[in-house]
Amino acid sequence: MNGQVQNLSIGPERISQESLLFAALERLARIREGRTAVRLHLSRLRPQNRREGYLRIVLRLLEPMVNAYGGQIFLLDDSDMVFLLRDARRTDVETMIAKLRSFFSRDPLIFADENDGVDRFCSRYDLAGDDYKTLLETARQDEERIRQRGRARGAAAAQQRTPLGTRELSQLLDGLEKTEVAKLIRRRWSIVVTARSTTEVFAQEFSINTDGLQKLLGRPIDFSGNSWLIKHLNTILGGSVLSILASVPFKPMPSAFLFDLNLYEGLSDSLARFERHLNGRAEMMIEFHILDVLADSGAYYTIRDKMQESGYKVIIEGLDILTTQCIEIAQFGADYYKLGWNPEMRENEIGAIQAAIDPEQLILEGCESESAIQWGLAHGINRFQGTYVAALLSAYAKAEAGGAACSLAECIAARSVVAGPLRERYAGQGWLDAAPVIRAGKSGDRKGAPS
Amino acid sequence: MIPPKGPGPVTAQQRAIAQRLAKGQESLLLDYLRKLENHRQGRRAVVVRLSALQAVNRRDHHVRMAAAGFEDVVRQLKGQIFILADSDLVLIFKETALDEVEAQIVKLRFMFDDDSFLAGEGAAGRPAFVDWFLLDRDYETLVLFAQRAVTEEQQRRESDSREPETERVQVPQMPKGDPLTPALLAKVEEHLANANLANMLRRQAICAIVGKASPQPVLYELFISIADLRQTLMPDTDLASSPWLFQQLTRTLDRRVLSLLNKHDDSTIAGDISINLNVETLLSQEFLNFDDNIKASERGSIVIELQKTDVFADLGAFLFARDFAHDRGYRICIDGADLESLPFISRDKLGVDFIKLVWSPEMIMGQFPDGSRLEDYVRRAGATRIMLCRCGEQAAIDYGQTLGITLFQGYHVEALRLADDQQKGKNGSDRWRERRSS
């Protein structure tokens, strides 16, 4: 690493990059001629686009140019980067910025600029002029803020989540043996808006809630980083959901069960047993993740065909804007596809998805507000899942039962579990498992709906 | 590096699927034969015993593909095909289709060439893979065969509905060792943290083979021998028991491989190599250190292989890493595609340079499980952008060449190189020296 580039290691450090930047700018006070600075507003990117690995790459890309112009780079605490240059050729700097923009071209920050020409990605400073004062002042404020926060940092560090590693997973699985898995099962409701303008329950999905698993370790775990270990965990847990559900006394019985299974579970004893338990009383839907399908596509075709012949519906989950752009979706030959709701989805993106899959086959998941549903309906999608859906159904179920003696929040929570104190407290209540049919058009019907 | 195949659907369960797929085919065959009672002349039958093949060769898509081979005969109304519950195929056809049917049987033999049943065919007391019948002469035999098939199938159905559990319990499972667990993996990771895996590093050539010319190495894939690793660190463990934990293990291996390559003198890693990495590794400090050691001019001849599942696990990270690797000059190859998963993968959409396709004999049928043509796919992706790997037989190269593929890898390719070297009076170490000095 070149000595001219300051302290590029990522992680905790004694002297903050903010104070180093402020000191460097102060030193420049009398020799500002020919000096320029650029601040890359990486903090404005989506969190997944400013991960440590990405920042490392940006530093690597910048390094040669910054060295060539006798400059320095500072990686600030909020992921922003500032680099100082001496007598730099403007075209070199602009070429570099254009390259970096292309690396982040999938972030909304970059495509927001396409509309109005405002550069939200970076700010440029000519340090020979008045820009110097502006940058110095910003640097002073940053330095001050970090110094203040440094004192509170010790406490914050203790709260940091441990990334899920093999050791943590091993401890989790040990803990699972002692715990009641039934309490970790969550029910997720999905709805369909029918041609008759009614909104009905489409399916009730039952799966393990990983947040609940954290309690087993007694410390917060970050489940977001390691997809392989989570896949392994789900493989272990999937089968137990089926056997537990067979003994849950639903009133009424769900009209359609949805399970998120690993591929081979599609041929398992637990599924066959559950099927016998249902004895045709409810529809069965099985959801497979695209990664499972890719890992053993031959088995997928066999299992999908078998399930469809047995009258099951096969659902593919794990689709978002990027996957739909990068994979040949039509190959799945599934009945439905779950698409993650993303308010930043652009018209051309949903257009491409619509071209690949009939919107009637899409289930929009992660609907946290009515606007998600409005957006979906406007694009031909009529199946939805998410916290808003759960709240909507709970409100109607509660209203139909003549107003339950509990808050809506408690009602939603009780309807999302299959075991534990909450369900026990409200056992026998009509609204607990109710799947209300919502009819549009009558204004009174909207009364119980959450706003 | 291709992870070991997961625990695919097992025999008894496959049989259950085949039964549903082939619902009543035995009875249909019997009915059909009875209708032909007065039309026997000029008709033949062939029974293809797919049931005798190893389980791995008679998964549902094998059976469908084998049956699809006779589609033309059926479409031209020259014959009728029946897929029995035990996966056997029965084709009743008019003599005018004999040549077509025979050609198809040759293809099928080719397709299952590596199956131990076919290898031992003809030995005393062993049934044949294919039996031919003349309806005129063998009508009664055929009717008896069909009647027996109907009875057996009925018995199977009854016992299935009575005792599904028992049947599942009896599923024969090859003992392959204890399953890989997170606890075990954690220990292995710890052990690997500072291990020197130099003695487990292997290289295999990826060669251009054009026409009958001898293989010309264009790249050397460097990889850790998983068999050796297992033998050394966890001999009693079945690594295929969890594909996901295996994938996790490769993350640790990546770092060891990069550190090995960094330690080697320049000539070992000078250009022309292909390495397996995880997307996450491409964004790591270890990779940047590796990158520091590579001359800019040589990056273009380094191929980075990424597993298909790893790519789709975090597409955002993949696209970012891909752009970075391309910016540095590396080339990217998607690894682990097979006949079944290839249709999901678009080289164009992923913006990668190569796709590595695992050879399997059923490719000879020329179609994907959904019936679309392999040839069309290869044309779209670019024949020169596909590397056919795990070529264990000449058929792989012959068939690959008919598709326009020129890059091949596998034991058979190694064997061809060796034979070629011997002919030229060279030995392996000479060849290696030659490469190092070039």
Report the residue from B8, B324, B344 with minimal CB separation from A296: B8
Residue B16 has pLDDT above 50, yes or no: no
**More confident site: B159 or B349:** B349
Instruction: Judge: A331–B344 Cβ closer than 8 Å, yes or no.
Output: yes
User: Looking at beta carbons, which residues of chain B come within 8 Å of A296?
Assistant: 5-6, 8, 243, 340
Backbone angles phi, psi at B133, to 5 degrees: -135, 145
- Residue B39's pLDDT is 86
A413-417, B235-239, B426-430: segment of lowest average pLDDT: B426-430
- Give mean pLDDT, residues B230-234: 86
- Residue B332's pLDDT is 97
Backbone angles phi, psi at A338, to 5 degrees: -90, 125
Percent of chain A whose predicted confidence (pLDDT) is above 70: 91
| DSSP H or E stretch at residue B407 | strand B407-409
Residues 388-417 of B with CB under 8 A from A: none
Chain A's closest residue to B64, CA to CA, is: A302
Query: Rounded to a whole number, what is the distance in Å from the CA of B241 to chain A's nearest CA?
Result: 10
| Alpha carbon distance A351, B112 (integer Å) | 44
The b/e string for B315-329 (b: 16+ C-beta within 10 A; e otherwise) is bbbbbbbbbbbeebe
Instruction: Judge: A333–B308 Cβ closer than 8 Å, yes or no.
Output: no
Residue A250 contacts B where some CB pair is shorter than 8 Å: no
Half-sphere exposure for B274 (CA within 13 Å, toward CB): 25
Instruction: Judge: B20–A303 Cβ closer than 8 Å, yes or no.
Output: no
Indicate the pLDDT class of residue A157, thresholds 50, 70 and 90: low
Instruction: Judge: B314–A49 Cβ closer than 8 Å, yes or no.
Output: no
Indicate the pLDDT class of residue B267, thresholds 50, 70 and 90: low
Number of Cβ within 10 Å of residue B112's Cβ equals: 23
Residues near B119 by beta carbon (within 8 Å), at least 6 away in sequence: none
Report the residue from B10, B61, B164 with minimal CB separation from A298: B61
| Alpha carbon distance A188, A203 (integer Å) | 8
**CB B210, CB B406: distance < 8 Å:** yes
Residues 37-66 of B with CB under 8 A from A: 59-61
Q: Determine the residue among B62, B315, B339, B344 to mutate to test chain A binding: the one whose Cβ has the most chain A Cβ atoms within 10 Å.
A: B344
User: Looking at beta carbons, which residues of chain B come within 8 Å of A290?
Assistant: 312
Residue A450 has pLDDT above 50, yes or no: no
Residue A166 contacts B where some CB pair is shorter than 8 Å: yes
Its CATH architecture, for the domain B172-424, is Alpha-Beta Barrel (3.20)
| Alpha carbon distance A302, A312 (integer Å) | 14
- Residue A7's pLDDT is 44
A295-304, A306-315, B82-91, B102-111: segment of lowest average pLDDT: B102-111
Residue B289 has pLDDT above 60, yes or no: yes
How far apart, in Å, are the Cα atoms of B323 and each of A108, B20, B271?
18, 47, 20
Residue B17 has pLDDT above 60, yes or no: no
Closest to A281 measured CA to CA, from A238, A246, A316, A314: A246
Residue B67 contacts A where some CB pair is shorter than 8 Å: no
- Residue B176's pLDDT is 63
CA B49 from centre of chain:
22
Backbone angles phi, psi at A41, to 5 degrees: -85, 60
Percent of chain B whose predicted confidence (pLDDT) is above 90: 40
State the average pLDDT for chain B. 82
Residue B148 has pLDDT above 60, yes or no: yes
First CA to last CA distance, chain B? 27
Find the Cα–Cα–Cα–Cα dihedral A347, A353, A356, A357, rounded to 10°.
-120
Report the residue from A103, A166, A325 with minimal CB separation from B189: A166
- pLDDT tens for A169-201 read 888 888 877 778 888 899 999 999 999 989 999
Residue A86 has pLDDT above 80, yes or no: yes
Backbone angles phi, psi at A343, to 5 degrees: -60, -15
Residue A272 contacts B where some CB pair is shorter than 8 Å: yes
Find the Cα–Cα–Cα–Cα dihedral B341, B344, B350, B356, rounded to 10°.
20
Residue A2 contacts B where some CB pair is shorter than 8 Å: no
Residue B175 has pLDDT above 80, yes or no: no
**CB A393, CB A436: distance < 8 Å:** yes
- pLDDT tens for B61-83 read 778 778 888 888 887 888 888 88
Residue A380 contacts B where some CB pair is shorter than 8 Å: no
Instruction: Judge: B6–A299 Cβ closer than 8 Å, yes or no.
Output: yes
- Beta strand ranges found along A158-255 (DSSP E): 162-163, 185-193, 198-208, 221-222
- Residue A181's pLDDT is 85
Report the residue from B9, B61, B323 with minimal CB separation from A264: B9
Instruction: Judge: B344–A103 Cβ closer than 8 Å, yes or no.
Output: no
**More confident site: A325 or A223:** A325
- Residue B320's pLDDT is 97
Q: Which residue has the tokens 């909450």?
A: A422
What sign results for the dihedral spanned by CA atoms B117, B121, B126, B128? positive
Instruction: Judge: B243–A295 Cβ closer than 8 Å, yes or no.
Output: yes
State the average pLDDT for chain A. 87
Q: Which two tokens stand for residue A197?
A: 């303008």
- Residue A384's pLDDT is 98
DSSP state of A318: E
A54-58, B97-101, B314-318, B431-435: segment of lowest average pLDDT: B431-435
Instruction: Judge: A166–B317 Cβ closer than 8 Å, yes or no.
Output: no
Instruction: Judge: A99–B308 Cβ closer than 8 Å, yes or no.
Output: no
Closest to B303 measured CA to CA, from B275, B322, B278, B323: B275
Backbone angles phi, psi at A191, to 5 degrees: -125, 160
Alpha helices in A117-161 (DSSP H): 131-158
Domain extent listing, chain B = 36-161, 172-424
**CB A10, CB A45: distance < 8 Å:** no
Residues near A64 by beta carbon (within 8 Å), at least 6 away in sequence: none
Residue A265 has pLDDT above 60, yes or no: yes
- pLDDT tens for A195-246 read 998 999 999 999 988 777 777 777 778 777 677 888 888 888 877 888 899 8
- Residue B108's pLDDT is 82
Residue A295 has pLDDT above 80, yes or no: yes
Query: Rounded to a whole number, what is the distance in Å from the CA of B43 to chain A's nearest CA?
Result: 34
- pLDDT tens for B359-373 read 998 899 899 988 899
Pairing of strands A185-193, A198-208: antiparallel
Report the residue from B20, B280, B345 with minimal CB separation from A53: B280
Residues 325-364 of A with CB under 8 A from B: 325-328, 331-333
Model pTM above 0.90: no
- pLDDT tens for A123-139 read 999 999 999 999 999 99
Instruction: Judge: B245–A229 Cβ closer than 8 Å, yes or no.
Output: yes
A70-84, A378-392, B11-25, B403-417: segment of lowest average pLDDT: B11-25
Instruction: Judge: B181–A229 Cβ closer than 8 Å, yes or no.
Output: no
Number of Cβ within 10 Å of residue B94's Cβ equals: 16
**CB B334, CB B308: distance < 8 Å:** yes
- Residue B234's pLDDT is 84
| Alpha carbon distance A27, A16 (integer Å) | 17
